[in-house]
Amino acid sequence: MPEHEKFDAIHNKHQPDFTGGDRGTRYERLATLAFQSLAATGAVRHNRHIIGDSGAEHQIDVLLNSDEPGQRIIVECKALSEPVGLGVVRNFKGVMDDTNPAHALILTTVGFTDEARKYADYHGIAPGFLRAIPEDHINQASVSIGVHVAMPQAGVDFSSEESVRRYTAILAGAPVTDGVPPEASVYVRNGDERITLFELIRQLMEEHDAEVRRDGAKTVAIGDWTLEGDADQLRLERVDLSYKLDWGTSVEEDRLNFATEIAELILEALGTRIIGWPSDLRRRIIKETGEVR
């Protein structure tokens, strides 16, 4: 499937209630949803119209910081099967000159012609890329290009050095298996319930997922769980939850099995890389006003 056609499938899978528009519209909507992940951007809206200095009205595919005229970022989206040409960039420069944004960006799937890039660089128009991660790169045991996975991270926190020492010794004595964390071989108890420490961490991640994603990390009190492994069962106290983003040239299949999510989109723009996580694409909705909620 051509690169520019993959976005239809991704959009329709996660935004099934939206049935209108063409391929370009769905590409714009995915870009809007991805840009919303940038906490510092303020309001993000799709398909907005703004008045330029000339009095002419301009349609903007994605408008960032839409409530702050001096900080606005305008984005032109092009889901093309070939590189963006000079004509597209030249037309967008006219919009930029009339609306005076803080930044102007052209987002595409396959890049720019040499002339278009020269013109964009000279006039301060930033290039950006919204790409789909090929499914075969996710399903294979290892991948030939980078794949983002969200791996659950949990640091078990104790109030005494002796408890830390005992915890470290228990993990060090766990069976060693390639690709399997020691927490998957160590058991914890709460009354009659007995599960692995890894399963407890997974349950906590699922329960507090929204808060961890929103705040970056969260400390959770464990309660009555104790850790097996030495003469006296060690009582757990707290777990510090976060996500680690893995990006590499070889992500092994067993590591993917422990991943909570596998990214489907990568947006590279404005000096940063934004990950299109399935859960974010599902839970966010673009209202008729173009605003994301």
Q: Which two tokens stand for residue 94?
A: 């006219």
Distance CA 114, CA 193 (A): 63
Find the angle CA(135)-CA(136)-CA(138) to the nearest 5 degrees: 65
- Residue 282 scores a pLDDT above 90: no
The dotted CATH code for 3-133+263-283 is 3.40.1350.10
- Alpha-carbon distances, residue 219 vs 158, 159, 215, 242, 251 (angstroms): 12, 13, 11, 9, 28
Distance CA 44, CA 31 (A): 10
Give residue-wise pLDDT tens across range 212-248. Answer: 766 667 888 887 888 887 667 788 888 887 755 444 4
pTM over 0.85: no
CB proximity list for 48: less than 8 A, separation 6 or greater: 59, 60, 63, 66, 290
Q: Which two tokens stand for residue 100?
A: 């005076």
- Alpha-carbon distances, residue 202 vs 185, 205, 220, 240 (angstroms): 14, 5, 13, 12
Contact 132, 264 (CB under 8 A): yes
Q: What is the mean pLDDT of residues 38-65?
A: 85
Give residue-wise pLDDT tens across range 91-124. Answer: 999 999 999 999 999 998 888 999 999 999 999 9
**Average pLDDT in the chain:** 77
The residue extents of the domains of the chain are: 3-133+263-283, 149-261
